[in-house]
Structure 1
Amino acid sequence: MWESVLEVLENVCNDGNVTEQRGIALGLIQRMESFEFIFILHLMIKVLGLTNDLPNVLQQKDQNIVNAMGLIVNVKELMQDLRENGWGTFLEEVRSFCVAMSVSVPNMEDSIPVRGCSRRGGQLVTYYHLYHAEIFIAVIDLLTTEMNNIFSETSTKLLRCIACLNPRNSFSRFDHGTLVRLAQIYSNDFSTSDHLILKEKLRIYIHDVRRNSDISNCHDLPSLAVKMVQFDKHFTFPLVYRLIELALILPVATTTVERAFLAMNIIKTYLRNKIGDEWLNNMMVCYIEQEMFAKIDEDIILQCFQNMQNRRIQFPPCSN
Structure 2
Amino acid sequence: MLRESQMQKTIVALQNGDVSSGRGLNQETTLKRAGDTRWGSHYGTILSLISIFSSVVEVLEVIEEDGNNPEQRAEACQLLNHIQSFEFVFNLHLMKSILGVTNELSQALQRSYQDIINAMTLVKVSKQQLQSIRDDGWSSLLNEVSVFCDSHNILVPNMNDIFVTQERSRCKIQKVSNLHHFQVELFYQVVDRQLQELNNRFTEVNTELLLCIACLNPIDSFFAFDKEKLLRLAEFYPHEFSSTHLLALDSQLENFILDMRLDDQFSNINGISGLSQKLVETKKHVVYPLVFFLLKLALILLVATASVERTFSAMNIIKSRLHNRMGDEWLNDCLVTYIERETFNQVDNETIIQHFQNMKTRREVPSRFEAKKVSS
Deviation at 1:273, TM superposition (A): 4.3
Structure 2 residue 214 is the aligned partner of structure 1 residue 163: yes
Q: 1:2 to 1:150 in 2, by over 3 A?
A: same
1:134 maps to which of 164, 167, 185: 185
User: Aligned pair in 2 of structure 1 residues 123, 228: CA closer, same or farther (>3 Å)?
Assistant: closer
Cα-to-partner distance string for 1:116-152 (whole Å, 9 max, x where unaligned): 898xx79421111011011111111222222233333
The corresponding residue for 2:99 is 48
Q: CA RMSD in A?
A: 2.9
Quickly say closer, same or farther: Cα 1:265–1:113, change in 2 above 3 A. Answer: closer
Conserved 8 A contact 1:114-1:124: no
Q: Which residue of 2 aligns with 1:194?
A: 245
**Greater Cα shift, 292-301 or 218-227:** 292-301
The separation in 2 between residues aligned to 1:47 and 1:18, in whole angstroms, is 38
Change (3 A) 1:65 1:125: same
2:195 matched residue in structure 1: 144
* Counterpart code for 1:101: H
Deviation at 1:248, TM superposition (A): 1.6
- Identify which of 170, 179, 183 aligns with 2:234: 183
- 1:317 is aligned to none
Give 1:208's aligned residue.
259
Tell which has more relative contact order, 1 or 2 (C-alpha 8 A, sep 6+).
Answer: 1
Question: Could you tell me which residue of structure 2 aligns to residue 89 of structure 1?
Answer: 140
Q: 1:303 to 1:177 in 2, by over 3 A?
A: farther
SS of residue paired to 1:189: coil
- Paired with 2:305 and 2:314, the residues of 1 have a C-alpha distance of 14
Aligned to 1:109: 160
- Note the C-alpha offset of 1:194: 0.6
Give the counterpart letter for 2:162 in structure 1. S
Q: Does structure 1 residue 217 correspond to structure 2 residue 268?
A: yes
TM-score, normalised with respect to structure 1: 0.84
Long gaps (5+) in structure 2: 1-51, 365-376
The answer to whether the 8 Å contact 2:108/2:115 transfers is: no
Alignment-derived partner of residue 56 in structure 2: 5
- Quick check: 1:112–1:126 contact (8 Å CA) kept in 2? yes
Amino acid at match of 2:112: K
Q: What is aligned with 1:60?
A: 111
Which residue in the other structure is 1:173 paired with?
A: 224
Measured at CA, do residues 5 and 286 of structure 1 come closer, stay the same or move farther in structure 2, by a change above 3 Å? closer
**Cα distance change, pair 201–137 in 1 and its aligned pair in 2 (3 A):** same
Q: 1:255 is matched by which residue type in structure 2?
A: A
Tell me by how many angstroms 1:90 deviates.
Answer: 1.1
Which consecutive residues of structure 1, in runs of 5 or more, have no partner in the other structure?
314-320
| Corresponding residue SS for 1:4 | helix
Say which SS state the counterpart of residue 181 (structure 2) adopts. helix
Larger deviation: 28-37 or 154-163?
Answer: 28-37
- How far the C-alpha of 1:286 sits from its partner, in A, is 4.4
- CA-CA distance at 1:43 after TM superposition: 1.2
Asked whether the equivalents of residues 166 and 221 of structure 1 are also in contact (C-alpha less than 8 Å), the reply is yes
Give the stretch that moved more between structures: 242-251 or 213-222: 213-222
The aligned residue for residue 230 of structure 1 is 281
Q: Distance in 2 between matches of 1:272 and 1:103?
A: 46
Alpha-carbon distance, 1:174 to partner: 0.6
Change in Cα spacing, 1:23 to 1:233, as seen in structure 2 (3 Å) is same
Q: Helix, strand or coil for the counterpart of 1:147?
A: helix
- The answer on whether the counterparts of 1:69 and 1:156 sit within 8 Å (CA) in structure 2 is yes
Matches of 1:254 and 1:238 in 2, distance apart?
24
Deviation at 1:113, TM superposition (A): 5.2
Further displaced range: 283-292 or 230-239: 283-292
For 2:156 and 2:95, how far apart are their aligned partners in 1?
19
Paired letter, 1:104: L
Moved more, 268-277 or 96-105: 268-277
Match of 2:176 among 106, 115, 125: 125
* Cα-to-partner distance string for 1:45-101 (whole Å, 9 max, x where unaligned): 222222223222211112311011111221121111111111111111111222222
Instruction: Read off the aligned partner of 2:248 and give its amino acid letter.
Output: I
Identity among equivalent positions (%) equals: 44
Residue 292 of structure 1, CA deviation? 4.8
- Alignment of 1:154 with 2:183, yes or no, is no
